[in-house]
Structure 1
Amino acid sequence: MGSSSTEVSTIVKNWREHPPASYSLKIHSFSQFENSSSSSDDKYQSRLFSSGRYKCKSLMVFTPPTEVFAEIRFFIYNKKENKYFTIQDVEVKRFNALKTVWGLQQILPCDTFSNPENGYIFEGGQCEFGVDVIVSLPLTNWEVLSYTEKFSNSKFSWAIKNFSELKENVLTSKSFSMAGKKWFLKLYPKGDSRADGKFLSIFLCLDDCDKPKDDEKISVQANFRVLDKRGSNHFQCQFNFWYNEQQLGGGWFEFLSLPELPKVYLDKEDALKVEIEFKAVSATKYSPII
Structure 2
Amino acid sequence: MGSSSVPVSKNVEKWREHPPSSYSLKIHNFSLLENSTSSSDDKYQSRVFSSGGYNWRLIVYPKGNEKDNGSGFISLYVEIDNESLMISTPPNEAFAELRFFVFNKKQNKYFTIQDLEVKRFNALKTVWGLQQVLPCDTFINPENGYIFDGDQCEFGVDVIVAPPLTKWEIPSFNEKLINPKFSWTVKNFSFSKEDEHSSNLFSMGGRNWVLKLYPKGYKNDGKWLSVFLHLADFDKPKADEKIFIQGNFRVLDPLGSIHKDGQFYDWHVEANAGWGWNQFLSSDELRKLYLDKEENLNVEVKIEVVSETKYSPIT
Same fold, TM-score > 0.5, yes or no: yes
Paired with 1:227 and 1:5, the residues of 2 have a C-alpha distance of 65
1:213-232 correspondence runs (5 A): 213-232=238-257
1: CA distance, partners of 2:16 / 2:246: 53
Q: Equivalent residue for 2:192?
A: 166
1:9-66 C-alpha deviation (Å, 9 max, x unpaired): 3222222232211111112232233233344333211111001111111122112332
TM-score by length of 2: 0.84
Of residues 199, 212, 223 in structure 1, which corresponds to 2:224? 199
2:124 counterpart of 1:106:
no
**Conserved in 2, the CA contact under 8 Å of 1:195 and 1:201?**
no
The residue number in structure 2 matching 1:64 is: 85
Q: Does residue 23 in structure 1 map to residue 23 in structure 2?
A: yes
For 1:195 and 1:108, locate their aligned partners in 2 and report how far apart those are by CA, in whole Å.
80
State the one-letter code of the partner of 1:236: D
Question: Which of 259, 283, 288 is the aligned partner of 2:308?
Answer: 283
Query: For the residues of structure 1 that align with 2:6 and 2:177, how far apart are their CA atoms?
Result: 50
Name the SS of the counterpart of 1:103 in structure 2: strand
- In structure 1, the residue matched to 2:163 is 137
Check if 1:49 corresponds to 2:49.
yes
Distance 2:243 2:226 in 1: 22
Return the offset for 1:72: 1.1
SS of 1:90's equivalent? Answer: strand
Q: d(CA) in 1 for partners of 2:307 and 2:160?
A: 37
- 5+ residue gaps, structure 1, are none
**Where does residue 179 of structure 1 map in the other structure?**
205
SS in 1 for 2:40: coil
The question of whether the paired residues in 1 share the 8 Å contact of 2:178 and 2:205 is answered with: no
After superposition, give the CA deviation of every residue in 1:40-99 in whole Å (9 maximum; x if it has no partner): 333211111001111111122112332112111111122233322222222222212222
> SS state of the match for residue 276, structure 1?
strand
The offset of 1:132, in angstroms, is: 0.9
Query: Residue 264 of structure 1 corresponds to which residue in structure 2?
Result: 289
Residues 29, 126 of structure 1: 8 Å contact kept: yes
Output the amino acid matched with 2:106: K
Higher alpha-carbon deviation: 194-203 or 124-133: 194-203
What's the CA shift for 1:288?
1.2
Between the aligned partners of 2:184 and 2:295, the Cα distance in structure 1 is: 14
Which SS does the other structure have where 2:45 is aligned?
coil
The one-character-per-residue Cα deviations of 1:198-232 (angstroms, maximum 9, x if unpaired) are 21111111112323223221111122222233433
CA distance in 2 between counterparts of 1:153 and 1:225 reads 16
Give aligned pairs, total: 288
When normalised by structure 1's length, the TM-score is 0.91
> Offset at 1:238?
2.1
- Spell out the pairing of 1:223-242 with structure 2 (5 A cutoff): 223-242=248-267
Distance 1:29 1:186, change over 3 A: same
Higher strand share: 2
Q: State whether residues 253 and 289 of structure 2, in contact with CA within 8 Å, keep that contact through their aligned partners in structure 1.
A: yes
- After TM superposition, the structure 1 stretch with the greater mean CA deviation from structure 2, 135-144 or 32-41, is 32-41
Secondary structure of 1:117's counterpart equals helix
Calculate percent identity across the aligned residue pairs: 65
Q: 1:33-48 maps to which residues of 2 (within 5 A)?
A: 33-48=33-48
For residue 148 of structure 1, report the CA deviation from its aligned partner. Answer: 0.7
Assess if the C-alpha contact under 8 Å between 2:213 and 2:226 holds in 1.
yes
Deviation at 1:175, TM superposition (A): 1.2
Moved more, 144-153 or 37-46: 37-46
Q: Deviation at 1:171?
A: 0.6
Q: Aligned in 2, Cα 1:6/1:229: closer, same or farther, shift over 3 Å?
A: farther
Amino acid at match of 2:166: T
